[in-house]
């Protein structure tokens, strides 16, 4: 079954009785009981499928988890209260019986870097950063640090670099270091990390999956060898997504293919236009034939579906000039997120990478003139017109 069909049908239409709901309803119950204690005992012991307590399982959330496992071709999925809680769960579960060392891409979402340095480091979990797009450097770093896990993003935030995930997964397997991939920017429609050898794939469901700016959530999908620790930790720690958020996420996913195809098409048009603007110094876009990772992108991504994120640098701008540009926008939404149906803009130095020092940001190439765009499904001409008047 093709992924566009899975988006619509997977997880839905379970039979609770003699009738079947067309879409999975919202089950708000915190606990569930069965006709006999023997059956409840089997459910509690995970010998029989079924909900018993909503920290363990909830029918609405379980439907979303089934859908996401199917989309990513994973063994199982756990839906969490946020993307960061999902990533935290993924990393901790991977390190349970492995060295407490992480090899991480040096270009990551700021909150992820903050988690590694300010949450994990005081707990004795060491992180070494590496240029994930330099395969030789990754291989050398794995040999030197002997990590318990490798962490990367499919497309880095915010400069949109793409590492050779399948080859990194092979390096990790040789060293018994599972690859964890934040696949938020790409979605399963573009890239499925588990198919490329990763052990765990993580998404902020807040973004493209739900897609409408009304959900906070995350999901962790894992292969058979790594799912049980994730589920066990989740049952104990309880970072679970609410049934309301699960319902909205599942509803949003049904239109993911349509939204993402339009967003990717719009992004190509906007990126091409920005590249010709006299006030724009540089454009970062995965669909650019001159992208530094163009060969990897062509190999791993479907043709013409390169994502809907753009970053660009305003010529000679500092914080004040960037703020002026963003304040001038009339259609594009200034907000700290991405992946919605409306086009959004963010200033990485203020928002996504605020927790990094200016020197760290500069070292990563995140200058004070960098702006990030998440392209929506509006008419591309209207997005361009808004950018044009704001850059004037």
Identify whether 109 is a catalytic site residue: yes
In the chain, the domains with their CATH numbers are 3-253 (3.40.640.10), 257-391 (3.90.1150.10)
Q: 218 and 68 in contact (C-beta within 8 Å)?
A: no
The pLDDT of residue 355:
67
DSSP-based three-state secondary structure for 363 = helix
Instruction: Quote the tokens at residue 33.
Output: 């009981």
> What's the half-sphere exposure (Cβ side, CA atoms, 13 Å) at 338?
28
Q: 62 and 231 in contact (C-beta within 8 Å)?
A: no
Closest CA to 58 of 83, 29, 35: 29
How many residues belong to the chain? 392
Identify whether 182 is a catalytic site residue: yes
The pLDDT of residue 198:
98
Residue written as tokens 């071709």? 73
Residue written as tokens 């006709």? 35
Confidence tier at 365 by pLDDT (50, 70, 90): confident
pLDDT greater than 90 at residue 42: yes
Q: 269-312: per-residue pLDDT in tens?
A: 999 999 999 999 999 999 999 999 999 999 999 999 999 999 99
Identify whether 207 is a catalytic site residue: yes
Q: Which of 6, 55, 101, 146 is catalytic?
A: 55
Q: 67-114: per-residue pLDDT in tens?
A: 999 999 999 999 999 999 999 999 999 999 999 999 999 999 989 999
Q: Which of 27, 57, 161, 182 is catalytic?
A: 182
Identify whether 359 is a catalytic site residue: no
The pLDDT of residue 353:
74
Round to whole Å and give the CA distance between 163 and 103.
Answer: 14
As a whole number of Å, the end-to-end CA separation of the chain is 49
């Amino acid at each position: 079954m093709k992924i566009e069909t899975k988006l619509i049908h997977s997880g839905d239409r379970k039979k609770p009785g003699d009738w079947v709901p067309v879409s999975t309803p919202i089950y708000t119950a915190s606990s569930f009981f069965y006709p006999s204690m023997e059956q409840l005992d089997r459910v509690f012991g995970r010998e029989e499928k079924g909900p018993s307590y909503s920290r363990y399982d909830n029918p609405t959330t379980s439907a979303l988890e089934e859908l996401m496992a199917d989309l990513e071709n994973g063994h199982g999925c756990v839906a969490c209260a946020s993307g960061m809680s999902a990533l935290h769960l993924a990393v901790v579960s991977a390190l349970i019986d492995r060295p407490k060392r992480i090899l991480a891409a040096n270009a990551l979402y700021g909150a992820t870097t903050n988690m590694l340095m300010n949450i994990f480091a005081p707990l004795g979990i060491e992180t070494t950063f590496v240029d994930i797009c330099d395969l030789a450097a990754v291989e050398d770093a794995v040999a030197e640090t002997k990590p318990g896990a490798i962490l990367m993003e499919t497309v880095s935030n915010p400069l949109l670099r793409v590492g050779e995930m399948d080859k990194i997964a092979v390096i990790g397997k040789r060293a018994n270091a599972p690859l964890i991939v934040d696949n938020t920017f790409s979605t399963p429609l573009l890239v499925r990390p588990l198919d490329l050898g990763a052990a765990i794939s993580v998404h902020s469901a807040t973004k493209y999956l739900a897609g409408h700016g009304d959900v906070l959530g995350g999901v962790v999908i894992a292969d058979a060898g790594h799912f049980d620790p994730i589920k066990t930790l989740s049952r104990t720690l309880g970072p679970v997504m609410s049934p309301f958020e699960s319902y909205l996420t599942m509803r949003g996913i049904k239109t993911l293919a349509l939204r993402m195809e339009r967003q990717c098409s719009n992004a190509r048009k906007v990126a091409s236009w920005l590249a010709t603007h006299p006030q724009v110094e540089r454009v970062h876009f995965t669909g650019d034939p001159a992208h530094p990772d163009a060969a990897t992108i062509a190999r791993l991504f479907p043709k013409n579906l390169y994502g809907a994120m753009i970053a660009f640098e305003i010529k000679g701008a500092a914080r004040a000039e960037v703020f002026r540009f963003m304040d001038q926008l009339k259609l594009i939404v200034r907000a700290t997120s991405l992946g919605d149906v409306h086009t959004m803009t963010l200033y990485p130095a203020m928002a996504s990478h605020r927790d990094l020092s200016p020197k760290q940001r500069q070292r990563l190439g995140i200058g004070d003139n960098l702006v990030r765009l998440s392209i929506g499904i509006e008419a591309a001409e209207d997005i361009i017109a808004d950018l044009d008047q704001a850059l004037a």
